[in-house]
Amino acid sequence: MNTFITNQNWRYATKKFDASRKVSNEDLQTLKEAIQLSTSSYGLQPYKVLIIENPEIRKQLQPVSWGQSQIVDASHLIVFANFTNIDASHIDSYIKNIAQSRDLHLENLTGYADFMKSKILGLPKEQLAIWTSKQTYLALGNLINAAAELKIDVTPMEGFEPEQYNEILGLNKQGLNASLVAPIGYRHSDDVNQHLAKVRKPLNELFETI
């Protein structure tokens, strides 16, 4: 646990990446598995994760990301895109995956499937989209923590225009919406932010035991 806290103190929202350094395929695979293993409500994972390597696409995305340099300079650009609607087919596919992964009969999972459908399918569309978007933040947390273990920098971003991302990446046609953006790579030696003290509320102010 001490190592975990040390790594959390090391990480920060990198403002300037070293464009000459790339995350290895091995480390990228580790980060992908960390995202895959993230917790989510019901285990449904109502999102898709895009890894943008194409420099031309990233150039298109930079202006709609408030012009931030991390979009083009980072090794990879990760976009978390939530499903804007969940229908019965999403849940049925997930239930089938449970049955196959745990060697269970589908009929034994009917009750769980019906319960999920009763809780999810009746939600208003706007509320459902908010719920699926929240799930991407859980996945982002796993990415940040795993990257810190590997000494890979991550910059979580909400400073972008989702509608433009959806257009450029063709997300609307897939029923998806860009929820979060996270460039990953390695901090540039010129980024002065890496030397700044981490600012957080003191423990006695942040926590209350009841």
Identify whether the C-beta of residue 91 lies closer than 8 Å to the C-beta of residue 43.
no
Q: Quote the radius of gyration of the chain (alpha carbons, Å).
A: 19
Taking the alpha carbons of 99, 103, 106, 110 in that order, is the dihedral positive or negative?
A: negative
Q: Write the CB contacts of 116 (distance below 8 Å, at least 6 apart in sequence).
A: 42, 44, 91, 94
Q: Residues 111-124: pLDDT tens digits?
A: 999 999 999 999 99
Distance, in Å, from the CA atom of 138 to the CA atom of 82, rounded to the nearest integer, reads 12
Walk me through the domains of the chain, giving residue ranges and CATH numbers.
Answer: 17-86+121-187 (3.40.109.10)
Q: Write the CB contacts of 180 (distance below 8 Å, at least 6 apart in sequence).
A: 79, 80, 136, 137, 140, 156, 157, 158
Positions of the chain with pLDDT under 70: 1
Task: Say what the pLDDT of residue 1 is.
Answer: 60
Q: CA dist 150 to 5, 27, 39, 68, 161, Å?
A: 14, 7, 20, 24, 30
